[in-house]
Structure 1
Amino acid sequence: MAEQERLTNKERRQRGREERKRKAEEEAKAARRRRIISVLSTIVVLAIIGAVVATAFLGDDDVIDEAIVLNSEEITEAREAAGCEVLAEQPEPGAATHFPNASAPPADQLYAGVRPAHSGPHLEQTLPIIRRGSDNQLDERGLLHNLEHGSVAAWYDPEQLEDGIKDDMEDWSARLIESGFAEPRAGTGIYVSPYTEPGITSGKTIAFRAWGFAMDCDEWDEDVAYSVVLERYGSHGIAPERTFAPFPEELLRYEDRDVEDTSTEDAPVGEPTETGTPTETATDGAATEEPPATEEPTTSEPTETTS
């Protein structure tokens, strides 16, 4: 106190300026620290959110990084164990008919046989690719157009499906789509959807569908599901516009037999119905005679994909 009293006014003003400068510098440093902490916190939060979103969207086991190799004899046994029945192996007559989305008849008027349908008149627009399946029942009429382009679908009865199987099915479809079993611009991919209206006609839990192919099973078996894709997806199937989806040969195969690429063959097709607008009935524009649709269950052995 005595020392301050001895300071001149000039010295006191100088000390005041120095003190204010020191406090201003300390406040500036504190503000910089707060900004740095805020930026780092934001980065950490965004990184966590990104990781959560990536995990939810991509999954942990998301891409086929090594070829899936199946054995046809083991698949036959797996299909039998899963209670699988092949209900159809040829498309329905009039299957190539397209309807405008706004004026298409309801599915119950279009499809009188096996449900969900495997072929038949359908909407003129395909459904979008749905990576991990749909929680709501997809429009059967729209999905048939996707099947016409070489897609494969796995429908399920949610009331009969065991806990956890829905996630397994969605993981299966996501893995295939991310690995190359999808052509979004063509509406070709792997689809998973519940089916409650009117319900799977066979009364089984799982209904595999590709164009002209229907196989229903009592339970989900992933190897069986892969075998359907191997035999029916894209250029391995008989869909009229299957050339939209070349089969990724390096990712999925049998170890004991070949599955033929059918791209250059005429697809078995039916005659257009009286309503709707017929489309081209074969990949090369040439129509072929329609073999009769198979309505009775056949053996559950893996089938050759040549038409």
Structure 2
Amino acid sequence: MAKSKPNKSEPVAGNSRRDKLASLEAARKSEQRRRTVILLSTCLVLAALLLAYPVYLFAQDARMRSASIAELGLSPAAAACQPVQENPATGNQQHVADGTKVNYDRLPPDSGAHLNHWAPFAKKFYTAEERPVVEELVHNLEHGYTIAWYNPDMPKDQLKDLEWIAKTFNGGDYVKDKFIAAPWTPADGKAFPAGQNIILTHWYANPQDPGNAATQKGVRMGCGGVSGQAIKDFMAKYPSTSAPEPQGG
């Protein structure tokens, strides 16, 4: 009986296995290539972002450095700034010993008893960790400073605006640059009024008769946000020369 010849169109078992393995290997390599492309693309995107962020910060810093105080922060209306309040001042030339806790009539204070020394002239912006005691800063008020007491929990972008505003007073002008931004917390005695994050204070005295305690005033203005224009206007109305001792500090 004659043997039948194999049908050439039927796959041989060995070839079928090789084809299957080759197909799996091709699929594996394709997946590897896809993952490599994704990984490289992700790395390129991350590298671009890492390079772009310092460039953005540099551009932002350059813009802020060149801005005038009135251009920084919100408008007075957008910052919800309240009308200025003037009250009789207290504590003219009344010094207390270090470590003394003064109970001020208004918080944050705009006048009152204070330490015999004041915060450095060159420091314009304080964080909660480095801020001098309140009684030291009140001495700065007596020497003509405007203090922007701020809520340290305020939005970070506005806090940054306030820091930039403080930097505009680093020009070294002894008379015009008497400005300090300092944090105020409930631990200092009382929380800010609802809706306010900034309170500007100044200890006013008549420039023609600065030692007359009867005419001295504690001046304050609260704002819900940071406004360079509001600070500029406040300091124009109550300059450092209108203080009990404008030559000190």
Q: Output one character per residue of 1:212-236: Cα deviation in whole Å (capped at 9) or x when no partner.
A: 211111111111111122222311x
Mean alpha-carbon deviation: is it higher for 84-93 or for 199-208? 84-93
**Alignment partner of 1:214 is 2:211:** no
Distance 1:69 1:181, change over 3 A: farther
Distance 1:230 1:177, change over 3 A: farther
**Alignment partner of 1:144 is 2:138:** yes
- CA-CA distance at 1:114 after TM superposition: 2.1
Note if contact 2:111-2:138 (Cα within 8 Å) is conserved in structure 1.
yes
**Alignment partner of 1:202 is 2:202:** no
Note if contact 1:131-1:173 (Cα within 8 Å) is conserved in structure 2.
no
Partner of 1:116: 108
Q: For residue 202 of structure 1, what is the amino acid of its counterpart?
A: P
Note if contact 1:154-1:208 (Cα within 8 Å) is conserved in structure 2.
yes
Q: How does 1:62-81 map to 2 (within 5 A)?
A: 62=65, 78-81=75-78
Q: Output one character per residue of 1:155-211: Cα deviation in whole Å (capped at 9) or x when no partner.
A: 11122x11222221111111122252568xxxx721111111234442311111111
Q: Output one character per residue of 1:112-159: Cα deviation in whole Å (capped at 9) or x when no partner.
A: x32110001111111113545111144211111101000111111122
Partner of 2:94: 97
Distance 1:170 1:69, change over 3 A: closer
- Quote the Cα distance in structure 1 between the aligned partners of 2:125 and 2:175: 13
**Alignment partner of 1:191 is 2:195:** no
- Quote the Cα distance in structure 2 between the aligned partners of 1:63 and 1:177: 13
- CA-CA distance at 1:69 after TM superposition: 8.0
Q: TM-score, normalised by structure 1?
A: 0.48
Which SS does the other structure have where 1:143 is aligned?
helix
Note if contact 2:125-2:180 (Cα within 8 Å) is conserved in structure 1.
yes
Note if contact 2:175-2:240 (Cα within 8 Å) is conserved in structure 1.
no
- Quote the Cα distance in structure 2 between the aligned partners of 1:129 and 1:82: 28
Q: TM-score, normalised by structure 2?
A: 0.58
Note if contact 1:132-1:171 (Cα within 8 Å) is conserved in structure 2.
no
Partner of 1:242: 246
Q: For residue 216 of structure 1, what is the amino acid of its counterpart?
A: G
Note if contact 1:94-1:120 (Cα within 8 Å) is conserved in structure 2.
yes
Distance 1:86 1:173, change over 3 A: same
- CA-CA distance at 1:81 after TM superposition: 3.7
Which SS does the other structure have where 2:149 is aligned?
strand
Note if contact 2:202-2:238 (Cα within 8 Å) is conserved in structure 1.
yes
Note if contact 2:82-2:223 (Cα within 8 Å) is conserved in structure 1.
yes
Distance 1:191 1:80, change over 3 A: same
Q: Which runs of 5+ in 1 are unaligned?
A: 1-54, 71-77, 246-307
RMSD of aligned C-alpha atoms?
Answer: 3.2
Q: For residue 241 of structure 1, what is the amino acid of its counterpart?
A: E
Distance 1:140 1:167, change over 3 A: same
Q: Output one character per residue of 1:37-68: Cα deviation in whole Å (capped at 9) or x when no partner.
A: xxxxxxxxxxxxxxxxxx99xx645478x8x7
Distance 1:63 1:231, change over 3 A: farther
Note if contact 1:84-1:218 (Cα within 8 Å) is conserved in structure 2.
yes
Which SS does the other structure have where 1:214 is aligned?
strand
Identity %: 23
- Quote the Cα distance in structure 2 between the aligned partners of 1:242 and 1:90: 19
Which SS does the other structure have where 1:114 is aligned?
coil
Q: Which runs of 5+ in 2 are unaligned?
A: 1-56, 204-217
Note if contact 2:81-2:230 (Cα within 8 Å) is conserved in structure 1.
no
- Quote the Cα distance in structure 2 between the aligned partners of 1:69 and 1:138: 28
Partner of 1:178: 171
Q: How does 1:15-164 map to 2 (within 5 A)?
A: 60=62, 61-62=64-65, 78-86=75-83, 88-102=85-99, 104=100, 106-107=101-102, 110-111=103-104, 113-136=105-128, 137-159=131-153, 161-164=154-157
Partner of 1:167: 160
- Quote the Cα distance in structure 2 between the aligned partners of 1:97 and 1:132: 25
